[in-house]
Structure 1
Amino acid sequence: MMSKDTVAIHELTAVAIREMVASGQHTAEELAQAFLDYAEPLEEKLHAFAYLNREAVMVQAQILDRGRAIGGDLGKLAGVPIALKDAIDTFDMPTEFGSASLAGRQPRWDAKVAKLLRNQGAIIFGKTAMPAFCLGQPAQTRNPHNLEHTPGGSSSGSAAAVAAGMVPVAIGTQTAGSVIRPASFCGVIGFKPTRGLISRSGLQPLCDTIDQVGVFGRNIEDVALVAQTLIAADDDDATTKGVLPRVLVDTALSEPPFKPKFVFVKTPQWEQMDPEAREAFDALAEAMGEETPTIELPTVANTGIDNLKILMDAEFAVAMDEHMRHSGEQVDERTKSIVERGRQVNAFDYLKAKRAIEPVTAGFDEFFERFDAIITPASLGPAPKGLDSTGDSVMNALWSYTGMPAITLPLLQSEAGLPIGIQLVGARHDDARLLRTANWLINNFDAITGES
């Protein structure tokens, strides 16, 4: 049994856990039990999980330890507890998409991302809570920084579980802002890679054109390690055709050959921001000096956001069609209204919105000939009070539409102590460079802002 006096379990990184298990310092079973002992009392307050079963976790740990005993290859995530959003299929745990209409749904196979994690020795710790079908009635997950405030959505449980130290890493999904926004609200790192690098097979379909997988963690190395594990081609997801392994960790932790260059982007929604958050970003832009120019995107940028809404509404309605015909009476009213809205989208608007993705995205390519990353707010402000809403995704929607990689860093906070994320956006397929730039900003943030 691992002594709780020898380690702060909620502060362990994924890399540290892997090294403990690989070296024999602790067994996977000892670590899993310690994480469960820490997480279970917290769960009574946070409601971060849709499914958390001690036996299911311990069985996985015991299998891993038996493999180690006979000299098996443990994998690069040996013994690391990783929580998965309830939108991701697992053969040994229910996946209910956050809806009572799918209570007890038990998939027969793992989603591709779950399979890849298990292949590297990760322990699937549980399924995290989410709003119904990612868009409907919010889950009752609470923000670890203040239980009266939303953790964001739709990957609410994943962000809250990492922020509370229940797990070092968690997986979510993003169609509009469902990774970046909850990461900002909960004060953790949230990384959305370039669309098409990580398979979506075995995930709840919301908007197939846009849907992505994202990673939550508390440091860049953990996030890069898990994202690197998930990047792979999958015959069941055509968007990953031809994808080869990426070296993210080594690049992310390396020193940039030159000081990174940033451009500060104010979206057309700048005036909608919480005044305190807007003031904080103005101060950051001033601290970064003239070498970080500020650019206001034209209102045409709203076209991308409007197009995303069209695609989401239409494709969600199609994805839900069969379920609505068979179990529609059990679906919450919020989901029903979104489905009905999607049914009203006409074919011309839908095809036009889809065709515009490439030209809108290409319009940002010239930014990255001069700059390493775009800096922009991750949300309109700190997490709003209340659990009836998960917040507004308007600060993330454009980058989701384009499929560009984005990451939020927990570097700012409100006077009330609530986190405010700084979002960095990179060039398509330049994920390693974005992670390296993010790591540089974390390491140099105090020097830039003059804080001790």
Structure 2
Amino acid sequence: MTYSSYHRSRSLFDDIQYRAVAEQVRAVQSRSVSALDLAVRVRRDIESEEPRIHAWVALSEDVEQHATAVDESPEALPLAGVSVGVKDIIDVEGLPTRAGTILTGSEPASSDAACVMRLRSLGAVVQGKTVTTEFAYLHPGPTRNPHALDRTPGGSSSGSAAAVGARTIPVALGSQTAGSLTRPAAYCGVAGLVLPSGSVDMAGVVGLSQSLDSLGLMTRTVDDLRYVHATFTTGDPPADTAAASQVRVWDGDGLADLAPEMSALVASVPVLMAELGVQTQRLDWAEHVRRLTKKHLDVMSYEALQIRHREYADHAAQLSEPLLELLRAGEKVSFEQHASILRYRNETLDRLTDHLGEEAVIVGPATPGPAPRGLQSTGVSVLSRAWQLLGLAVVVVPGARTPSGLPLGLQIIGLPGAESRMLHLGAKLEQALHDRYRW
């Protein structure tokens, strides 16, 4: 390569770490950029931004080794060289899993969680562990919202959302038990996917509620999310799949007071969908939504008490008050009540399946509004709880903004198996929102 062509190549790929995931993969596969160079660029951005947002618990020391292995692989790996952050309730070999609490040990994990192992097998490079709240519940960590440092990034996947929202990393793993992914994704202006409960191997993930815990993905855009989801689940790039063609518009059913900007955004959904050629109707399901929302807390508290019983019995003084309140609430839920709620959940999921049919998805507010001021709370998760109890898939769509520039997120909610159609619709909706909020 001549000097001039080398510098043309350097110029072409100087900002490759900020481009779409698919573009990064093509650059690495074509040897236009090495996985090692890409990983080093991402690490430089992480270290530059970290004093501002505090998104990381620990950074991997073997990034260069893993990136070099990707460069030396003879396979065309579908996530070749793509950097990933991992929420600190998910095991990464060689790093401790602290789960946002002093009660966990500092010994490094001896192996990767199943989801991390899967990403590595596809060519992804794990940069490190991102901040989570205490045992993935409410007590916040040190992370700040990259769009406004005096506002919460949400929780419990706070570090993952902030790192992606600050554009330091293209992909991050999170999880959801109540609103642990939809809330931070919406607050930090990133795309998020909550995978249906039971659809992913959760081995190596610290749990809070076995009936509710779900794995999640965060990326900068829904297009990136489509690519990562497809490769994660099938090993191949996304296929040509039709977008969901029917939408039930949900206004939150009064579960929370929506900010004026969010109310206006939800009111605009029928117009946006009409522009996309999608039919809309109002979701008329308020009674079930409110009951599911209430019952979600009973299931979560009962199961959290079973999982965290040792910490509750032996280390209560070292637990936060919000977690103690949850565990105390679990003492009031009987085995019979818990079983009854799960039966109701299953029956209600059947009713919703009939109500939506094969084509429809739900679109509504992901949060009541933009990220609240202050860092002592992670915000309100009430708009996610009903759907999480049902084990549904959720796509958080960024693109909307308040007049002051704070992100607003919509959520697309669908039955298990509808993820590809939801993501296709989400990508189109994100573009429509960007066009509308171009200023």
Tell me the TM-score normalized by structure 1. 0.88
Q: Is 2:306 the counterpart of 1:323?
A: no
Closer/same/farther in 2, CA of residues 450 and 160 from structure 1, 3 Å limit = closer
Identity of aligned residues (%): 28
Alpha-carbon displacement from aligned partner over 1:348-383 (angstroms, at most 9, x marks no partner) = 221111111111112222343375321111111110
Distance of 1:44 and 1:59 partners within structure 2: 26
Distance of 2:294 and 2:27 partners within structure 1: 48
Aligned match of 1:26: 33
Distance of 1:188 and 1:406 partners within structure 2: 13
| Displacement after TM superposition at 1:296 (Å) | 4.2
Superposed counterparts of 1:59-70, under 5 Å: 59-65=65-71, 67-68=72-73
Q: 1:84 aligns with which of 62, 86, 95?
A: 86
SS of alignment partner, residue 215 of structure 2: strand
Segments of 5+ residues of structure 1 without an aligned counterpart are 232-244
Q: Is 2:274 the counterpart of 1:268?
A: no
Distance of 1:224 and 1:446 partners within structure 2: 18
Superposed counterparts of 1:44-443, under 5 Å: 44-53=51-60, 55-65=61-71, 67-68=72-73, 72-73=74-75, 75-231=77-233, 245=234, 249-251=238-240, 254=241, 256=243, 260-269=245-254, 272-285=257-270, 288=273, 291-369=279-357, 371-443=359-431
| Displacement after TM superposition at 1:194 (Å) | 2.2
| Displacement after TM superposition at 1:15 (Å) | 1.6
Closer/same/farther in 2, CA of residues 277 and 270 from structure 1, 3 Å limit = farther
SS of alignment partner, residue 412 of structure 2: strand
Closer/same/farther in 2, CA of residues 324 and 260 from structure 1, 3 Å limit = same
| Displacement after TM superposition at 1:131 (Å) | 0.6
Alpha-carbon displacement from aligned partner over 1:75-130 (angstroms, at most 9, x marks no partner) = 21111101110010112211110112215142222110011011111111111101
Q: Which moved more, 1:88-97 or 1:13-22?
A: 13-22
Q: Which moved more, 1:350-359 or 1:81-90?
A: 350-359
Distance of 2:223 and 2:400 partners within structure 1: 20
SS of alignment partner, residue 173 of structure 2: strand
| Displacement after TM superposition at 1:320 (Å) | 0.8
Closer/same/farther in 2, CA of residues 10 and 276 from structure 1, 3 Å limit = same
Alpha-carbon displacement from aligned partner over 1:15-56 (angstroms, at most 9, x marks no partner) = 222222211111111111111111102011101111124x33
Alpha-carbon displacement from aligned partner over 1:228-285 (angstroms, at most 9, x marks no partner) = 3443xxxxxxxxxxxxx4877113xx555xx822221223226611223112322334
Distance of 1:450 and 1:101 partners within structure 2: 45
Tell me if the contact between 1:10 and 1:38 (Cα under 8 Å) persists in the aligned partners: no
| Displacement after TM superposition at 1:63 (Å) | 2.9
| Displacement after TM superposition at 1:182 (Å) | 0.9
What is the number of equivalent residue pairs in this alignment? 429
SS of alignment partner, residue 197 of structure 1: coil
Distance of 1:278 and 1:129 partners within structure 2: 31
Segments of 5+ residues of structure 2 without an aligned counterpart are 1-5
Q: Is 2:52 the counterpart of 1:42?
A: no
Tell me if the contact between 1:48 and 1:129 (Cα under 8 Å) persists in the aligned partners: yes
Closer/same/farther in 2, CA of residues 139 and 3 from structure 1, 3 Å limit = farther
SS of alignment partner, residue 208 of structure 1: coil
SS of alignment partner, residue 353 of structure 2: coil
Please tell me the residue identity of whatever aligns with 1:102: T
Q: Which moved more, 1:402-411 or 1:325-334?
A: 325-334
Closer/same/farther in 2, CA of residues 344 and 23 from structure 1, 3 Å limit = same
Aligned match of 2:3: none
Tell me if the contact between 1:307 and 1:354 (Cα under 8 Å) persists in the aligned partners: no
Distance of 1:344 and 1:351 partners within structure 2: 14
Closer/same/farther in 2, CA of residues 197 and 126 from structure 1, 3 Å limit = same
Aligned match of 1:11: 18
Say what the alpha-carbon RMSD is for the aligned residues. Answer: 2.6
| Displacement after TM superposition at 1:412 (Å) | 1.5
Q: Which moved more, 1:156-165 or 1:421-430?
A: 421-430
